[in-house]
Copies of this chain bind each other. A is one copy, B any other.
């Protein structure tokens, strides 16, 4: 149990490190973040921030809620559901930002591998949330049905974590390609460490759920 707490501590730590690295990247190396700006790149930068906060950080915290919040029922379940609902709302803002950027610059939508994985993750995550809400919260299925559905909900959740991190890493690669970052530049290394840190946060999350 104490090992599990240590590993989930790593997941929180890498999550916070990733937020810091992402903010340094967007605010110091890139153009800043502003949904209502005339500068398309400032609008675009809302996308990585929202997707990261929603689908890496909050989704990860939501998965760990069963370990980290007081165990009195139904507290962890509500925290789990609420964090994932906030993630969906942030995801909608993040997706709107990238579509707005594409409109401002006449760029085609949803053609790259990153966008296919990302849109797929978002839609399946929405379905998983709805399915979980109906089965485990309101109206809630019978006890035997819940017990049968739970392993599928957990396995599906792990695959979605897995998809979210693939979406994040491919997104970082796509942006590096567009920016044409040079080998061993400070910004290149920062983006690489950001990618590794997101990945480490999710891996620790998966690991702690296996050994909890």
Contact of A155 with B210 in the complex, beta carbons under 8 Å: yes
| A interface secondary structure, majority | helix
- CB-CB under 8 A from A108, the residues of chain B are 183-184
A8: Cβ under 8 A from any B Cβ? no
A114: Cβ under 8 A from any B Cβ? yes
Nearest B residue to A7 via CB reads B155
A191: Cβ under 8 A from any B Cβ? yes
**Which of A81-89, A139-147, A167-175 is found at the contact surface with chain B?**
A167-175
Chain A, interface residues (CB within 8 Å), range: 35 or more
In the complex, A162 Cα to B201 Cα: how many Å? 13
In the complex, A192 Cα to B116 Cα: how many Å? 7
In the complex, A188 Cα to B170 Cα: how many Å? 15
- CB-CB under 8 A from A159, the residues of chain B are 203, 206-207
Contact of A196 with B116 in the complex, beta carbons under 8 Å: yes
Interfacial residues of chain A within 154-212, with CB under 8 A of chain B in the complex: 154-156, 158-159, 162-163, 165-166, 169-170, 172-174, 176-178, 183-184, 188, 191-192, 195-196, 199, 202-203, 206-207, 210-211
A68: Cβ under 8 A from any B Cβ? no
Contact of A176 with B112 in the complex, beta carbons under 8 Å: yes
Nearest B residue to A165 via CB reads B166
A residues with a Cβ closer than 8 A to B are 108, 111-114, 116-117, 120, 151-152, 154-156, 158-159, 162-163, 165-166, 169-170, 172-174, 176-178, 183-184, 188, 191-192, 195-196, 199, 202-203, 206-207, 210-211
